Amino acid sequence: MAARRHGVAIVGVGTVGFGTFTDSSSATLANAALERALEDSGLSRADVDGLLIQIGSPRGLDYDAAARLLALNVRFTSQTWSHGRFGATVMQHAALALTEGLADVVLCLAVFRNSAFAKIGTAGFPSFGEGLREGGGPHAETHWAGLAAPIGGAALAIQRYLHRYGIDREKLGRVAIAQRRAAAGNPLAVFSKEIDADEYARSPYVVEPLRVLDCSVMVDTAVAVILTTSERARDLRQRPVCLLAYQGIRGGPNEFVFGQPGLGVNQAEIFDYSPDKHVMSVFGKAGLDPGEIGTLHCYDGFAPQVLWTLERFGFCGPGEAADFIGDGRIELTGTLPVNTSGGHLSEGHSNGWGHTLEIVAQLRGQAGPRQIAGCETAMWGTTIGDAIIYGI
């Protein structure tokens, strides 16, 4: 096993689950998730001196309200932009704070209620106005061209990808089918009924070539993750899940939130993507290579993001992922199980926090019927280059 580079570990997790919680406030949901994470870790509220927030008001709680309403006295706090891509960034900031002594025990909190608002892409959704900012919206929204929701940019990217590499569109169904099969063993999953290729093919298009079954399911949730130093973690209740290595989100003229470089619109260059030493550096830091990852978990707001993450991090070559995942490779019994909770497509869109819960469960050996035998390493990664490698 690789050296524990950063000396930081997850010691407690808690969630209220995934679904619709219209009768509960954000604070109520956050408190329930926190209580479960504290119970899981054996720590108390008084031990928590760091607070990092991933989703703020109005969908969730801002850091000041969270600290006050959850009775936390913290000496380090931060809050990211309210978009799902920042789940790993929050975890990385927690690790940095612990490494630099800014806090001893850090709570990472994601709580949001989508059911309280209109559909994403409409004026009643809190982030609708961001699509009108200079330079376009955060998910490639370009309202002046009729793309008012994230699915517009994702559909353009996958259309271009299929055309560039000559990929049979129906091969995309392998992602949804595999993740729904995994979700069948997850009691938290919103959708747990297995689907087959025929059912997938009957799924209607939302924005062609993306079908309903290629899209994540919006939910309400609250997830609490508690981290501390590996030294302190040894004395706590649960087996520590260590952060072996991590790297941040990439940005620039050629980066595109839904796909690897070269798939977006209005990019500075058009080129064939291949992983470079910077994108792959997380493996070197962990002392591992892609073949030693026991399970991969990746952001799947849309099914093609799984393919692009596999290619971004060199698990297979550009344009090869649709065939790479054939023959059950990414299913529970495959050589690289992916999103074993069902992911955003089946468990519910949790901005990546459900994936973190699943990584912890797998590495602790607590995943029940989804458990991967002998799982000792796990990786989180996205199409825009951020990653965390975990180990025990």
CB count within 10 Å of CB 252 equals 8
Edge-to-edge strands, sheet with 105-112 = 76-79, 50-53, 105-112, 220-229, 8-19, 241-247, 387-391, 377-381, 295-298
Please give the pLDDT value at position 268: 65
Burial class (CB in 10 A: 0-12, 13-18, 19+), 290: middle
Which one, of 34, 37, 47, lies nearest residue 10 by Cα? 37
Pairing of strands 50-53, 76-79: parallel
Gap between the Cα atoms of 103 and 94, Å rounded: 9
Residue 254, helix vs strand vs coil: coil
- Residue whose token pair is 């595109």: 256
Please give the pLDDT value at position 266: 64
Alpha helices by DSSP H, listed for the chain, are 26-41, 63-69, 87-99, 150-165, 173-183, 197-202, 230-233, 281-286, 304-312, 321-324, 343-346, 353-364
- Domains of the chain, start order: 8-391 (3.40.47.10)
Digit-by-digit pLDDT tens for the chain (392 residues) are: 443 445 999 999 999 999 999 999 999 999 999 999 999 999 999 999 999 999 999 999 999 999 999 999 999 999 998 888 899 999 999 999 999 999 999 999 999 998 888 888 888 888 888 888 888 888 877 777 777 888 988 998 999 899 999 999 999 999 999 999 999 999 999 999 999 999 999 999 999 999 999 999 999 999 999 999 999 999 998 999 999 999 999 988 888 888 878 787 666 666 677 777 767 899 999 999 999 999 999 999 999 999 999 999 999 999 999 999 999 999 999 999 999 999 999 999 999 999 999 999 999 999 999 999 999 999 999 999 999 999 99
Please give the pLDDT value at position 269: 67
Please give the pLDDT value at position 271: 66
Is the pTM of the predicted complex or chain greater than 0.85? Answer: yes
CB-based burial, 59-81: b 16+ in 10 Å, e otherwise:
bbbebebbbeebebebebbbbbe
Gap between the Cα atoms of 229 and 322, Å rounded: 39
Do residues 233 and 9 touch, judged by C-beta distance below 8 A?
yes
Do residues 31 and 71 touch, judged by C-beta distance below 8 A?
no
